[in-house]
Amino acid sequence: MRWTLAAIILIGFIAPAVRAQQRAECLSCHSETTLADQDGHSVYVDGAKQKASVHGSLNCTDCHASIKGYPHPEHPAAVNCGTCHSDEAKDLVESVHAKASAEPCLGCHRDPHAIIPVKDMQSPVFTLNIPQTCGSCHGNPELAKKFGLANVYALYMDSIHGFALTKDGLLVAASCSSCHGSHKILSHTNPESRTYRTNIPATCGSCHAGPEAQYFAGIHGQQLKAGNPQAPVCADCHTAHGIARVQGVSWQMQTSATCGNCHKENYATYLDTFHAQISALGYAETARCWNCHRFHDILPPSDPKSTVAPGNLVATCGQCHADATVSFVSYHPHADPHDRKSFPALYFAALFMDLLLLSIFSFFGLHTILWFVRSFFDRPKGGLRAEGG
């Protein structure tokens, strides 16, 4: 017992001393700023920075484990961060970055001798710095081209998330890793990925809990749950990276066309209405899809809870048309004049108008052409107007 205590005290005092001695030995060469290996790569180590880093208490050979003494081989074995960071290393091996470079850790964590805590604002993986760190590859058009990546960096930086994070400095704003994860970044085609289609609502919902609940209460979320592959998820309407502020007029102007990507017929009939016409002229305060159908908790008209269920139309239309009545809401905002079964009166009115235009222009078109030809050969000599009116 006494010996054990003495040994602990001895190791406690001696170990740092031994470590300091080893560091000093390594740095006696590696503190030389011009030191380079045979290939000309710098092997200089900033001792002070290393001392201040999260790994400052480690010995050089803790990481450079293949080096047993001096002289060491010209090319010592690569450092394996996974020796200590085994979970992260395992995640990284499964990720899209596993083969991205020879040293995938350093791509994001940068200088291996100057790694500082994630919470430190200087860290390249501090929340506010993540977009720039990821963007150093993903914002590079050449790399994007080489690996077939969408140039998502620019889209993100102009998005509401990008503005909130990089301009307003909000730590709660979504950075790259909020959606993609950090070490286990998987392709969106991998069903385990946080950005796989069916996982997107949960991923967005990790911050936007309210909209997530509304989405799953609505028909889109229900269809997704039921396994309908066509059911839209958050990114289908909001896009993935260039997410705009929904209160912005420029975004609101595009929303109807977005719904129209799937709801083609309803979009086509909407375009025939006054609502759509004034929207196309840049007028924001008009009915767009979501003004009547709502957005996350959209329900089909057959559902009595739906805003467009027959019983709720007076209230829904009444949002804008204050004096809407039951009769007023029998106006059909998606009437199709070509649909004889559903809209017979409109169908025949359209048919009548078409025939009217066709007959009048056929008759007078011919009349005019014949008149032109005849009067050209029979025009009054010298003109009529010459003298008068």
Partner 1 sequence: MNQNNTNDRYYTRFSLGQRYLHGVLMATFIGLALTGMTLRFSHTVWAAAFARAVGGFSAILFCHKFCAALLTLAFLIHVGDITYRGLVKGQRGVFWGPNSMVPRLKDLKDLYGHMRWFLWLGPRPKFDRFAYWEKFDYWGVFWGMAIIGISGYAMWFAPFFARFFPGSWLNIALLIHGEEALLAAWFIFAIHFFNTHLRPGSFPMDLVIFTGRETEKELKERHPAEYERLLEGGQLQAAQTSAPPQWLKIFGRLAGIVVISSGFVLLILTLAAFFGGK
| CB 92, CB 183: distance < 8 Å | yes
Nearer to partner 1, 145 or 332 (CB): 332
Question: Using the rule CB under 8 A, which residue among 75, 280, 303, 310 binds partner 1?
Answer: 280
From the list 37-45, 121-129, 183-191, 348-356, the region that binds partner 1 by CB under 8 A is: 348-356
345 touches partner 1 by CB under 8 A = yes
Nearer to partner 1, 227 or 389 (CB): 389
From the list 26-34, 152-160, 196-204, 373-381, the region that binds partner 1 by CB under 8 A is: 373-381
Task: Identify the CA nearest to 165 among candidates 210, 119, 132, 207.
Answer: 132
The alpha carbon dihedral of 248, 250, 253, 257 has a sign of negative
361 touches partner 1 by CB under 8 A = yes
Kindly identify the residues of this chain, within the stretch 290-309, that bind partner 1 according to CB under 8 A: none
330 touches partner 1 by CB under 8 A = yes
| CB 143, CB 80: distance < 8 Å | no
Q: Do you know the residue count of the chain?
A: 389
Question: Using the rule CB under 8 A, which residue among 182, 324, 339, 341 binds partner 1?
Answer: 324
In angstroms, what is the minimal distance from the CB of 352 to partner 1? Answer: 8
Nearer to partner 1, 12 or 282 (CB): 282
**What residues are paired with 36 via a beta bridge?**
42
343 touches partner 1 by CB under 8 A = yes
Question: Using the rule CB under 8 A, which residue among 277, 290, 291, 316 binds partner 1?
Answer: 277
Question: Using the rule CB under 8 A, which residue among 82, 278, 294, 339 binds partner 1?
Answer: 278
374 touches partner 1 by CB under 8 A = yes
354 touches partner 1 by CB under 8 A = yes
Q: Residues 239-242: contacts with CB within 8 Å, 24+ apart?
A: 239/155, 240/152, 240/195, 241/150, 241/152, 241/155, 241/156, 241/159, 242/155, 242/156, 242/158, 242/159
Question: Using the rule CB under 8 A, which residue among 25, 84, 360, 362 binds partner 1?
Answer: 360
The two tokens of residue 45 are 């180590």
Helix or strand or coil: residue 42? strand
| CB 195, CB 280: distance < 8 Å | no
Helix or strand or coil: residue 217? helix
DSSP 5-34: HHHHHHHHHHHHHHHHHHHHHHHHHHT-TT
Residue 316: other Cβ atoms inside 10 A: 20
40 touches partner 1 by CB under 8 A = no
With left for phi above 0 and alpha for psi between -120 and 50, is residue 136 left, alpha or beta? alpha
250 touches partner 1 by CB under 8 A = no
In angstroms, what is the minimal distance from the CB of 354 to partner 1? Answer: 8
Question: Using the rule CB under 8 A, which residue among 14, 18, 78, 353 binds partner 1?
Answer: 353
Question: Using the rule CB under 8 A, which residue among 9, 225, 261, 274 binds partner 1?
Answer: 274
271 touches partner 1 by CB under 8 A = yes
Task: Identify the CA nearest to 275 among candidates 314, 327, 310, 317.
Answer: 317
In angstroms, what is the minimal distance from the CB of 303 to partner 1? Answer: 22
Question: Using the rule CB under 8 A, which residue among 283, 300, 338, 362 binds partner 1?
Answer: 283
CA distances from 138 to 108, 149, 155, 254 (A): 12, 7, 11, 27
From the list 125-133, 148-156, 248-256, 356-364, the region that binds partner 1 by CB under 8 A is: 356-364
Nearer to partner 1, 153 or 267 (CB): 267
Torsion of CA 141, 147, 148, 154, to 10 degrees: -30
372 touches partner 1 by CB under 8 A = yes
Nearer to partner 1, 7 or 358 (CB): 358
**Whole-angstrom Cα distance, residue 299 to residue 207?**
24
Number of H helices, E strands in the chain: 20, 0
230 touches partner 1 by CB under 8 A = no
In angstroms, what is the minimal distance from the CB of 388 to partner 1? Answer: 3
Task: Identify the CA nearest to 46 among candidates 116, 118, 125, 129.
Answer: 116
Residues near partner 1, by CB under 8 A: 271, 273-274, 276-283, 321, 323-325, 327-332, 335, 337, 343, 345-346, 349-350, 353-354, 356-357, 360-361, 364-365, 367-368, 370-376, 378-380, 383-389
